Structure 1
Amino acid sequence: MSDSTPGWAVPGASSAPATHWPAASPAGPSTPRRDPAMRAPYVPPSALREPVIPQRHAIDEALARPTFREPHRSTPGGVFAGAGVTLLWMFVTFFLGGDLRSTLWVMLIAGLFAASGAFVLVRYGDRGAACGVAAVAGTAIAVVGAVVEWHALDGSWLLW
């Protein structure tokens, strides 16, 4: 912009006092006039109704996380009962064999029967008891497998 542009003062120059003030109205300050071409924005009739505020319990139900309640829960008592009964079952079957080979076969068959009993308990009975039965039966079958493997590494296969 140049210094000759009207409305701009030269830097460093003092400004002249304003001499052309608008005339004061005798009634005081006037209200601003509205342009007749401008209209109010459109507000739909549905926005003019009072808002519907739902009840507090409806809000809590809508915001609550879903909960799943199992019909037959697994309890520690069921797990320990299943484990205890299976431990007794494996202890009794341990003494049915006459030698090591027959004892291992009896233990293996008893462990498989206990595992099938655990499957039946899962489907029709207490899942906690099924967990205890499966844990003890699996441990017994693993012990039988470890004994067989120990003897197999020594050179004698015990199962046949």
Structure 2
Amino acid sequence: MAVSESQWKEPGGPSAATAPPGTWPGAMGPPVVGPPPRLSAQPPTARPPTPAAAYGAWQGALRPPVFKVSQPRPVFREPMPVNGQMIALGGAAGAAWMLLFGLLMTGSARGYVWITLIAGFLAWGAAAILARFGDRGVAVGVAAAGGLGVAIAGILVAYRLAGGDWLLW
């Protein structure tokens, strides 16, 4: 569908063709008429290219700032790093703790489960204190050994529960 010249309208409406020079359709206020801005005869001075321009790096206005570093960055090291030896030492201590409490109760399975739960919670408390104020590697070993001891007691409770006997009451 072609548009004839009689149907054609200016983009700004009918007043766009009849507007005085220096205004545009839809402008608010009186038209601003004056001399054009003066252009300087000299082109703006360009900054010299940086060494990065040699390999095609971006030379925009947002170059990263250059800081003078008077001393190297600080290195933070943990005073007691976690290593395998300390984890093994904590695991051995936790296993000895759980074994000691397990050997204290020789009467019944119910007594063994209760004393193992108490020993496990005490071991986890000791592991929390060690993790906060002491050696984290030993804390991991103690918590793992305590968790294993409580898991064994839980397996005993589940086995007896499958047979119809609830051990904990």
TM-score, normalisation: structure 1: 0.59
Whole-Å Cα distance in 1 between the matches of residues 86 and 103 of structure 2?
27
Aligned mate of 1:107, from 93, 96, 116: 116
Q: Which 4+ residue blocks in structure 1 deviate beyond 2 angstroms? A: 38-44, 66-72
Q: Where do 5+ consecutive residues of structure 2 fail to align?
A: 1-39, 52-65
Q: Where do 5+ consecutive residues of structure 1 fail to align?
A: 1-37
1:69 paired residue number? 77
1:87 paired residue number? 95
* Aligned sequence identity (%): 36
The superposition leaves residues 112-132 of structure 1 with CA deviations (integer Å, 9 ceiling, x where unpaired) of 100111111111111111111
1:27 paired residue number? none
Task: Tell me how far 1:39 sits from its aligned partner.
Answer: 5.4
2:141 paired residue number? 132
Other structure's SS at 2:45 match: coil
2:157 paired residue number? 148
Whole-Å Cα distance in 2 between the matches of residues 89 and 71 of structure 1?
27
Report how many residues are paired: 112
Other structure's SS at 1:144 match: helix
Provide the aligned C-alpha RMSD in A: 3.1
Task: Tell me how far 1:67 sits from its aligned partner.
Answer: 6.2
Other structure's SS at 1:95 match: helix
Task: Tell me how far 1:100 sits from its aligned partner.
Answer: 1.6
- Higher Rg of the two aligned structures: 1
Whole-Å Cα distance in 1 between the matches of residues 101 and 86 of structure 2?
22
Whole-Å Cα distance in 1 between the matches of residues 134 and 150 of structure 2?
23
Structure 1 position 42 matched with structure 2 position 44: yes
